[in-house]
Every structure is written in structure tokens, then in C-alpha cells.
Chains A and B, each alone.
Chain A
């Protein structure tokens, strides 16, 4: 995928570019907001990664301008500000996700993949049934069945499993789960995600031959069929 990175700090730009290239993406770098806006207007990219703080034209204004020109390229904001209101402000401006610097490359990769998957999905509409191997989730009836056996889940466990299944085969990070499943804008000091996942595991995996929910060391969790 072609990704446009609009970032004024060369070190961050290099870190992101090398990381994403290793994952097989093509990265174009624009060091200023104006430059970035021009590139975004002339070439169609798969994703824009935009720094909030840019000299001249700032990231927020840039994304607003592009959205007003009905440009629907997914946008991921990067920021050094750990401001509480910044996330909401960024998402309201039309960004698809938001990442606070400094971040682990695994976190960035997971979010880039999730955004791209989501933007691919919107075309075909939201499915009513999620299926990962023998695990089937009916979003309307709110039931989960694995290998023909019903799995009883609490509402929060259901939401957690739904998010994992939407991103089946891909890593989702702890912060992603905190944000998307529990709507937490802060990072709790205890590992509540681990506790919730071990409960979910005990319901989804216990008594079956194979484990579906996996821990990806150093980055997050993943559900997959095999």
C-alpha cells in the first residue's frame, strides 16, 4: 500500500518509513503541511499518516481541508501532545485513528492494518455474522457458537471478542483494545486487558483442541482459525 507520511521531524519520519517499508508498504514523506497537502491532492494514497504539529499548516487544518474536498483517504494522526481533548478533536476533524508519540512500531503497524481493513470493509457494508474458522458470531442475535457449541458471554466479553474477530489474523494492541472496546482514553497501570482476555479465553478456548486467542509477545493479541 502507498502511504503518505506528513511529519516534520526527520528522525520520526525515518523510524516510521523504515518500519512500514519492512511490512511491505511504500512510504512517501512530506516534511511540511503544505507539501503534504499538495501530494495528498495530486496522488491517491491508501493512508495518510499526519503529525498534529507541523510548521505552517498544522495537521488538524490539513485534514479538515482534505475532508472538505471530499477526500476520503483514511487518516492516522500522530502527536506528541498527550492532551485529553486532542484525541476527540482529531477524530472530529475526520481522522480515523490517533497515536501518541512515542509509540512502538508494532502499535503503529497494528493500527495501520486495522484502519486499512476497516476502510476496505465499509464498501461492502457491515456483516451481520463474523466467522473465524469454526467460531461464529451472530451480531444480530448476539450469540457465539464454536464447533456447534454455544459460548455464553457477558456483554463486555462479547464486545472484546467482536473486535478481535473483526481483526482476525491480525494483531490488536492493548491500547487499541482499551480504546475501542472499553472507550478508555487513558492507560490503566494494572493489566486489565490481560485479565479480561484470560476470562474470554477460558470461555472460547477451554475444552477445545486448539487455542484460537493468542498473545503476540511484545505487541498484543490475535484471534486466528488454526
Chain B
């Protein structure tokens, strides 16, 4: 866990940010230090020069022969001032006249003067910054200041900066570690869930914290994906069970027929009849497979790439012309009310099959003499197709079930059909993002397909 934590991306990012932060702090501190040092020393030099100028003025303006005396008095006055850090030296012919410095080489100009044990104030290494000038041929003056105080101050500032720097480094690393640990924990939980699912615990889901952040959203998306996959797998399992169950019946019939022929057929004519019947059963089975394959294909959305603009009124007219003779033959009064409807983005063959299935259901599941109506219209900008009949209808509690594959109502067990018609209609409607509803026609059934609005 320890080394894993250090190898996480979030920790790496935190470390990089900390390093950048500390680096920029160090640069800032260096700049501040240089500026502070500069300004301290400039100040010091100005004071020193002021003193030196006063001494020089006193020297210059003194009565003849009193020059050295005036300067000495001035220096002694200054030395009396409390806690003065200033150092002075006045020499005449290389002999100390006044001041608190021992005699030294008469160097002129600004210079640093190392001074190991100044005034017995401290044991530290004292350095004096000052300026020496020649007042006359014989007289030399030096005024300077001890840098000890300045050094102490600067050292204090540096120390404070150092503490801040260290503290921020610690805080940055700690927050980096904390951050990576929380990220790592969330990612570990996602990884664990994935592993659990791979191991077969398909119901497992990623634990969500309820906070709104990117990992939470990732978790939600993964959970939604898993839900969808589970639904699909369950429907697949359901379908396989249904297929196995529902194909048994026609296969059993086929077997009976062939067995009967073997046991009871007495001549070629009997065999011919049996074979004819067997072929019919096979065709029925094959048509079920075709319908199943088609539903699967439509549900996979395979055809969407070949969609075109479909004029619904034209399509509905085609369906009407196609089914009018059948309606006449089966004695179903058939009326079509075809109004204008916005074009639909879709597959004309599939839409025609949808209409065909709905019309065939109306023919097959209602008694002769039952009126059937086919409508096409516009409602709130949406194209709507309605197939309504005046038959017995479907009770509300069964209207959802009839869309399931192979579902057949008790009343229609004996009529022809595979129980796949409405599944196909549902699949085609979903492919077109249309809403397919079964409603009460008071009396009868009213199948409504509402296509999406084109204004989106």
C-alpha cells in the first residue's frame, strides 16, 4: 500500500506541484533577501556618510589650530549617545586621538573591516562597514557601523522563510498523500467491483459516496452500464428459454405427423399428405426463426444507417391498398383516414411491416364483421399512425405482456401466428424512436405509433 500510494498519479501530481511551489518560494526568498540586504546596507552607508560629513564640516569650519579638537569633541559626543552601534577613529600622524577603534592602516573609501571582538558585546564575528577619509595631510578619520545587528536581522528573516518553506513542503506532501489515498481507495473499490463481476457476481455494483465529483460520476456511469448489460443478459436468457419452450410445440407436431405416417400410412397418397404437412410445419418453424432473427437485428439497430425520409401518408396508402382485398375477403369493414403527416426518418420496408403486422393482428384476432380503421395524422407536430378495431380488445393488465416474444393470449392459442408480431412492432417502433401504445378503443383495441417530433 505504501509504495503503491507513492506510485499513484495523484501523488505524482501533488509532488510535482509541491516541488514547483517550494522552488518558486526559494526564488522569492532569495530576491527578498538580496533586496533587504541592499536596502539595509544603503541605509547604513547613508548614516555613516552623514556622520563623516558632520565631522568633516566641524574640522573644516574650526578656527585654525582647533580643527583636530573640534572633530574629537564631536566624535566623543556621538560616542556618549546610548546604544550607538557606530564606530569612530580619529588619528593624527598615525596616533589615535579619539574614537572606539584601535589604530589601523589609514585606508580611504568604503570598505569592510573584520573586527573579531568589538566592544565585548558578543563573541560572534563582527564586521564593520565604514568609510575612511583624509581630513588633512596629518589627520585621518574613519566612521563605520557594526553589521552584527543587520546580520542578526537578516538571519532571522531567513530562518522564518526557511520555516515557512519547510512547513509548506510538509503540508503539500501530506495533502498529496491524502488525496492520492482517497482517489486510490475509490479506484480500488471500482477495481474490486470489476473483479467481482468478472468472477461471476454479476449483481455487484460500485459503492457510491453520494458526493458529486468526477469519480462519483464515473461510478454512476459504470453502474448504469452494468445495469443495462444485466438487463440485456436477462432478456437474452429469457429469449433463449422462450425459444426452447415455444419451438418444442411445432417440433412435437412435426414429429407426431411423421410418426403417424410411419405407423399408419398405407400408400403413396398417405405418405405424400404426411410429407406435405411436414413441410408446412417446417415452413412455420422457419418463419419463426426469420422473425426472431429480424427482431434481434432490429433491436441491434443495424438498419439505422440506411434510414431515409419516409412519407407516411404514401406508405399508409400502400398498406391500405395491400390489405383492402384481404379485409374484403375476411369480411372486415375497412376504412382508412389518411391525413397529412410530417416525414419520418426511417426504413420504409420496416414501417410497412409494422403496419402489416398491426393490420394482420386486427384481421386475425377479431370476428368477421368487425370494423378496422387505419389512420395517419399529425398531432402536436408528431406523425401518428393508428390501427383500431371494434373487436374484443385486450384487457389493460395484458397490454404490456402481449408485446413479449411468444406471448399468446388464452383466447388466441388456437389462431394462427407465432406470438412474435407485436414484439416485432415494438422493436421497429423503438428503432424509429417512436412510442408504441395499445389503448382501449371502447370497444376494441387501438394501436398507436407516435413518431418523434422533427423539431428536436
| A interface residues with partner B (beta carbon < 8 Å) | 82-85, 88, 102, 104, 154, 156, 182, 184-192, 195-196, 198-199, 218
Contacts and interface: CB of A to CB of B under 8 A. Distances in A.
A190 B332 CA distance: 14
B356 interface: yes
B234 to A, nearest CB: 26
A88 B297 CA distance: 16
Contacts of B349: 84, 184-186
Given A102-B286, A186-B349, A195 B326 contact: yes
A156 B360 CA distance: 20
Interface stretch (B249-257, B317-325, B438-446): B317-325
B276 to A, nearest CB: 8
8 contacts: A84-B302, A85-B302, A85-B306, A104-B279, A186-B353, A187-B287, A187-B290, A196-B325
B61 to A, nearest CB: 115
Contacts of A154: 321
Given A188-B356, A189-B360, 4 more contacts: A189-B287, A189-B416, A198-B329, A199-B325
B243 to A, nearest CB: 16
Contacts of A156: 321
Contact of B329 (A88, A187, A189, A195): A195
Given A85-B302, A85-B306, A195-B329, A184 B352 contact: yes
B322 A189 contact: no
Interface residues of B, number: 32
Interface of B: 276, 279, 286-287, 290, 293-294, 297, 302-303, 306, 318, 321-323, 325-326, 328-329, 347, 349-350, 352-353, 356-357, 360, 363-364, 416-417, 421
B325 A192 contact: yes
Q: Is the interface of A mostly helix, strand, loop or mixed?
A: loop
A102 B352 CA distance: 24
Ranked nearest first, the 6 interchain pairs of A and B with the lowest CB-CB distance are A195-B325, A195-B326, A185-B349, A195-B329, A186-B353, A82-B290
Given A82-B294, A198-B325, A189 B421 contact: yes
Identify the interface centre among B349, B363, B417: most chain A CB within 10 Å of its CB. Answer: B349
Contacts of A82: 290, 293-294
Nearest to A102: B286
A12 B353 CA distance: 30
A30 to B, nearest CB: 27
Contacts of B357: 189
B297 A84 contact: yes
